[in-house]
């Protein structure tokens, strides 16, 4: 327990001291505003597990299934929660190797030597970026003010409570 606490504390301090530009996503998202990066998904799973355990629901699932047949699927539900935790539990940010392992946008930017899609002349026509079309405004802002300034501004917004709502 003590070792885990120290590791978490070091990670928390590293995040606080991390240059905001390293929290920029290649696609124009700011990872610092992401619920996954912020650990909100992991926390939600932990909170739900804690409530289930506190009430002992996991101990009398068969009884609960008589109330509502959906409880017959409790074990699958546990597997889904585990998958959420494993898949979205911790993310170091896109530029630090987080996010989708085979992200085509990251691969493209790395191959071209770009920090973000804002550097690319194909930004407005790129099919890889199409699922993230809303981010093009952020990419334009990055192009206009620079990555560092944009990231600092985004970090200030996060500190004021901004978070992506998915």
Banded pLDDT at 4 (limits 50, 70, 90): very low
SS3 141: helix
Question: Does 15 have pLDDT greater than 80?
Answer: no
Least confident of 4-13, 33-42, 57-66, 98-107: 4-13
Quote the CA–CA distance of 166 and 156 in Å, as a whole number.
20
Q: With bands split at pLDDT 50, 70 and 90, how would you rate the model's confidence at 127?
A: very high
Tokens of 69: 């047949």
pLDDT at 17: 58
pLDDT of residue 13: 45
Residue 14 confidence (pLDDT) above 70: no
User: Which runs of consecutive H residues, i.e. helices, occur in 18-135?
Assistant: 40-55, 61-67, 74-88, 104-112
């Amino acid at each position: 327990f003590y070792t885990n606490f120290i590791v978490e504390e070091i990670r928390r301090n590293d995040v606080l001291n991390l240059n905001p530009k390293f929290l920029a996503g290649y696609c124009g998202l700011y990872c610092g505003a992401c619920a996954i990066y912020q650990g909100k998904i992991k926390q939600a799973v932990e909170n739900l597990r804690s409530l289930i355990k506190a009430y002992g629901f996991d101990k009398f699932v068969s009884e609960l299934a008589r109330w509502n047949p959906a409880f017959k699927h409790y074990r699958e539900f546990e597997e889904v929660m585990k998958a959420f935790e494993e898949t979205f539990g911790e993310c170091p940010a896109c530029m630090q190797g987080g996010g989708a392992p085979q992200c085509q946008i990251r691969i493209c930017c790395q191959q071209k030597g770009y920090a973000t899609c804002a550097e690319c002349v194909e930004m407005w026509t790129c099919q890889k970026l199409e699922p993230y079309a809303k981010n093009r405004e952020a990419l334009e802002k990055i192009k206009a003010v620079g990555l560092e300034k944009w990231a600092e501004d985004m970090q200030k917004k996060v500190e004021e409570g901004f978070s992506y709502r998915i």
